[in-house]
Structures are given as C-alpha cells and as structure tokens.
Amino acid sequence: MKVALSGATGFIGTSLKRTLRTEGMDLTVILREGFRKSPDDFCTAYIDQHDAVINLAGAPLLRKWTVQYKQEIRDSRILTTRKIAEAILGSAHPPKTLINVSAVGIYLDKNKCSEDSMDLADNFLGKLCRDWEAEAGIAGTRCRVVLLRLGLVLDRDGGALKKMAPWFRSGLGAKVGNGNQGVSWIHMEDLMRVFLFVMNTPGITGVVNTVGMYPTDNYYFSETLGKMFGQPVYFTIPGFILRILYGEGARVLTEGQKALPGVLMKHGFSFSYPTLDKALVAIYRESPSRII
C-alpha cells in the first residue's frame, strides 16, 4: 500500500511514520515545504497513485493563544487540509482513503459524546474542528473520508505525559481547576492500531471518536498518575494561572470532553489498553500493584 503522510515530524506523526514503515508500506512524507508546491506538482508528488493520504498537519495547541498564534493554528490546519482535498478532487488517480485528524474538542464538555452527537462547542476550538473537517469532507466525492477525532494521546516519550510525569514523580503533580473536566484518552499503541484498522476497514467512513472505552475526568486522571509513582496529589493549579500562561489556550486544560468510541466498537476494534491503569502500567512498565 502506498501512503502519503503529512505532519510526520510531530508527536503522533513520528510514531505513525515508524508504524507504517514497519508494516511494509510505501510511505511518501509531505514536508511543510511540500505544501508550497503548485497544485499540479503537489498532486503528482503526494496524491496521484497513492492508496491513502493521512493528514496530521497542525501547529501545537498548548501555547499562549495570541491573535497571531490563533491564526497560525487555524491556517496550519485549514489551508493544508484544503490543499490535500482540492488535489484529490483534481487527481486522475485519487487515493481510496483520506484520513484526517481532528479533535474531541469539537464537542461541548457537558455530556458523554458519541459520533452522532450534535452538542458541538461554539468556541474557537469547536469552530476550528468543524471548519477543519468540512475542508476534508470536500474530497468525499472522490474517495472515502474518515475524520478521526482524537483525545489525549498517552505516550512516555512525548505529548502531555512527557511534560507531566516529572512533576508527578517528584510529588508535585496537580489537578487542574476543579478537576471535573472530561479526559478522553488513548494509548499511543492503540492509536497506531486504529490508523491501520481504519485503512483496512472500507466500511468505516465519516466521524470516528479515536479514544479509549472509558473516558474519565481530570481528578481521576491526576490521582491515577500520582499513584503510578507512589505519590499523593495534594496540589491544584487554579484556572486563572493557566489563563495567564496560555490565554484562551488554557481551555485545552481547563475544559474537556468525555467521548465514546462507538464506531470503532461497532466495527470490532479491540483495545489493547482499555483502562487508564493498564495504559499507564504499559507506558511506565511498573508493577500493577502501584496503581491499585
């Protein structure tokens, strides 16, 4: 299978690039400068004669959201996705599948959310995700489009856990705000398996909540991570501190969703790490008794 991948140097993309190559796939990496190619050259290099395109491009969210950076967050997702979708429309030999990554931040944070939930957020992140998915959907007349709505991806070597673990290991871990905000999470290994599963399951199309079976909240997540290192969690980071540091971007930490992987379950996907404790044990290779 010949696959084109954007965002290959990021946290998820680095793992996915390795996974696809391990699976023996013929991989074409779309580098940032590749998006500057003319439409015809872009289509020839990255779209024509490929079986699948996976789009992970996007600037990191956990930074201070100035007006300028919010525009960068938006452009890095909308414009890249638009270029891919338009190239697919114009391709003489389009891919069979476009997998475009979005986020569970599209949902409101008040209820558990399935793929058909219409409780969508009206804030910056919610609107961004809606527009982002709409751009990918343009390609739907020429190929199967799958929209993976990701939650928190758990991995030892990157993402949130890499930043959080030293604090929790030293006993300085903290809950965020009131701790009630939802946390939808997935182990990196399960995420890699989802990509392969979706590529090889033609019946999957449209929105897919790419999260584990049991969403939790920040309080339980923090307590469980603390127990992982044998440390109690005494501290709380007030929301106003995060707003000083990240501006509107603090919403990524102070708000959260509880999404359910209905489509994956319907199609028979089996999680290797269905519970948070099993996921953290696997990541840190500690004794399970440490977190019971």
> What is the domain-level CATH number for residue 285?
3.40.50.720
What is the total count of domains within the chain?
Answer: 1
Mean pLDDT calculated for residue range 162-182: 93
Mean pLDDT calculated for residue range 129-157: 97
What integer pLDDT is reported at residue 287 of this predicted model? 45
Confidence band for 250, pLDDT divided at 50, 70 and 90: confident
Cα dihedral across residues 216, 218, 221, 227: positive or negative: negative
What integer pLDDT is reported at residue 110 of this predicted model? 79
3-state DSSP assignment of residue 38: coil
> Considering only CA atoms, which of 166, 184, 192, 148 is closest in space to residue 256?
184
> Taking the model in full, what pTM does it have?
0.94
Residue 140 domain flag: yes
Confidence band for 149, pLDDT divided at 50, 70 and 90: very high
Please state which of the ranges 26-40, 196-210, 239-253 shows the lowest mean pLDDT. Answer: 239-253
> Considering only CA atoms, which of 124, 102, 132, 114 is closest in space to residue 262?
114
Residue 229 domain flag: no
d(CA 239, CA 29): 39
pLDDT at residue 75 is higher than 80: yes
> Considering only CA atoms, which of 52, 68, 41 is closest in space to residue 16?
52
Residue 237 domain flag: no
The helix or strand, by DSSP H or E, that contains position 167, with its residue range, turns out to be helix 159-169
Q: Render pLDDT for 257-276 as a digit per residue (tens, 0 to 9).
A: 999 999 999 999 999 999 99
Mean pLDDT calculated for residue range 65-71: 95
Long-range contacts made by residues 238-241, C-beta under 8 angstroms, separation at least 24? 238/177, 239/176, 239/177
Confidence band for 289, pLDDT divided at 50, 70 and 90: very low
Residue 243 domain flag: no
Q: What pairs with residue 147 in β-bridges?
A: 100, 207
Containing structural domain, residue 191: 2-216+248-291
Confidence band for 286, pLDDT divided at 50, 70 and 90: low
pLDDT at residue 163 is higher than 80: yes
Mean pLDDT calculated for residue range 232-258: 90
Longest dimension (CA), the chain: 60
Q: Render pLDDT for 6-28 as a digit per residue (tens, 0 to 9).
A: 999 999 999 999 999 999 999 99
What integer pLDDT is reported at residue 291 of this predicted model? 41
The rounded percent of the chain whose pLDDT value lies above 70 is: 98
The rounded percent of the chain whose pLDDT value lies above 90 is: 87
d(CA 58, CA 81): 10
Mode of pairing for the β-strands spanning 216-217 and 144-150: unpaired
Residue 126 domain flag: yes
Residue 222 domain flag: no
What integer pLDDT is reported at residue 128 of this predicted model? 97
Residue 49 domain flag: yes
Residue 224 domain flag: no
